[in-house]
Amino acid sequence: MKPIKAVALAADHAGFGQKAKLVAYIQQLGSFEVVDLGTDSESAVDYPDFAIKLAAWVAQKPEHMGVLICGTGNGMAMVANKHKGIRAAVCRSAYEATLARQHNNANVLCLGQRVTGEGLAVAIVDAFLHNVFEGGRHQLRLAKVYKMEDCP
């Protein structure tokens, strides 16, 4: 398993504020290259545009990870999961983020600024970025997902 080298973040207008704070937080960690894929304000935008952009970026390399933020995280996850090779998980707790990485090999974390406070969002991102896929019995299950989408 390759270590995470780069993390991209993207949000729509409903997640812009939380994205800005999380970009700064992840940069402060100093462990990852951080890429901000927008949006750059609270002006109304269409969330699919940002989910598509981030999913394409993450799918390029296995050591890429992503964080998508909208009002609830659900819209972003629905769009991102349409992209081949993306395993996006909406997480409302650090425990969910831990299991999304360990058991599902999630490569995109989806958050909702309207439903997740800033401190909790930081804890969730920490859990997501600092856990790894366990493989084993989980790899067998994930192989079925790959087969469905004809992934390598």
Sign of CA dihedral 128, 105, 59, 6: positive
Identify the residue whose tokens are 């290259």: 33
Distance CA 143, CA 139 (A): 6
Q: Are 64 and 107 in contact (CB under 8 A)?
A: yes
Residue 117 dihedral angles phi and psi, to the nearest 5°: -70, 165
CA-angle at 108, arms to 58 and 128, nearest 5°: 120
**Is 103 a catalytic site residue?**
yes
**Is 91 a catalytic site residue?**
no
Distance CA 128, CA 94 (A): 8
Catalytic residue among 70, 83, 91, 110: 70
Identify the residue whose tokens are 């969330």: 47
Which residue numbers are catalytic?
70, 103
